[in-house]
Structure 1
Amino acid sequence: VKSGMTAAVDLGDVTRGEAGSLVLTPTGDSAPVVAALRVVRGKGDDQESAFIPATRPVGARATVADNRAKGSTLSLTAPGAAGTVKVTASAGTEGGTPVTKTYTVKGGTTMSVRPPVPAGLKGSYALTVEQVSGGEVYGSRMLDVPDADVPGVPMFTVQTLPDDRGTVSVPHADQDLSVLQK
């Protein structure tokens, strides 16, 4: 890719309908590159596209909202060493009990799973993915929802799961009632 230019590469049916990941590795003199992937599903006039930006690993915690009992798919990738993540499904927006499941992703592979669904789910729910051990794990969630207005078109979206940096250190504090006496 020339500096200041955009290049597109058609990968064809490289994954043959299976979950997969694209890892870009610099060669020779490396320079920063911005990358994204366009995924197309369907045929002819009945096509839908999703755009997936490059992303960071799951890290300490990544979260994605608006999951459904049907139609949510979680893809997890461990490009190096095997890694283990804990996936927690929150209570639903209108009720349900949270549930947690642990997944181990073999090194150099991508696995696609139906995420856990809260018991007694009512409404939609959030998924939280946390790195437990091993090598870095990258993740994304695909939401596939039929569109009643356009039958036959596979409506979907894909959201990456980078560390949301929502975990913060809380400083140690001691109780001091003398401040109330001044």
Structure 2
Amino acid sequence: MLEKMKKITLSTFLVSGSTAVFAIISLISVFITINTWQTQREASRPYFTFKESPRIELADEVSLEFRFFNVGTHPATELTSKTMVFHENLTENPILIDTYRVVNDIPRDTAASLLLYLDANDVDANDVDANYPDLDAYYIVIRLDYWDPILKDSFAQTIFIKWPGVYQERVQPLIHMEAGEKDRVIQYIKERNLAPLD
């Protein structure tokens, strides 16, 4: 009788152990599946980037043209941009705060243009008559908000750019901010309650 109880206890233990192992494997499989789904979801969502350098033209005003390309698989709708431009010294108020909304869908590999016009007097009144020999540097922050109609979710991107201005009568190209500059710019924006960046 004792041997029979030992066999039943041993078999019960083996069955319980194998059930526990199966449950753990099932949980791991569910975790991997969810993780894979989230990765695929992020890879499919709309995402905007530059494929070409933004254009800068100087005339009676400074014009900047940004062409954002949707490199994600899904289209983007309801694209709204909020742009702020301010002097690199971060002591003055922004010279431009502009909001723009695109009414059309932006499918994959399609561009959306953003044009900014800065009054020459706002950029640097002393240099207007001298035909732009030198202009100071400016920071440009662009926040993009858009909707993915397939995932039915909204997304946001914030782009931090620096325009080094004009040096020795040569228009400098736009560059990405350095990490330290970005931190100072975020602090500047928060102190003035200019826009949410989260």
Could you tell me the TM-score, scaled by structure 2's length?
0.31
Compute the TM-score of the two structures, normalised by the length of structure 1: 0.33
Higher CA-based Rg: 2
Q: Relative contact order (C-alpha < 8 Å, sep 6+): which is higher? A: 1
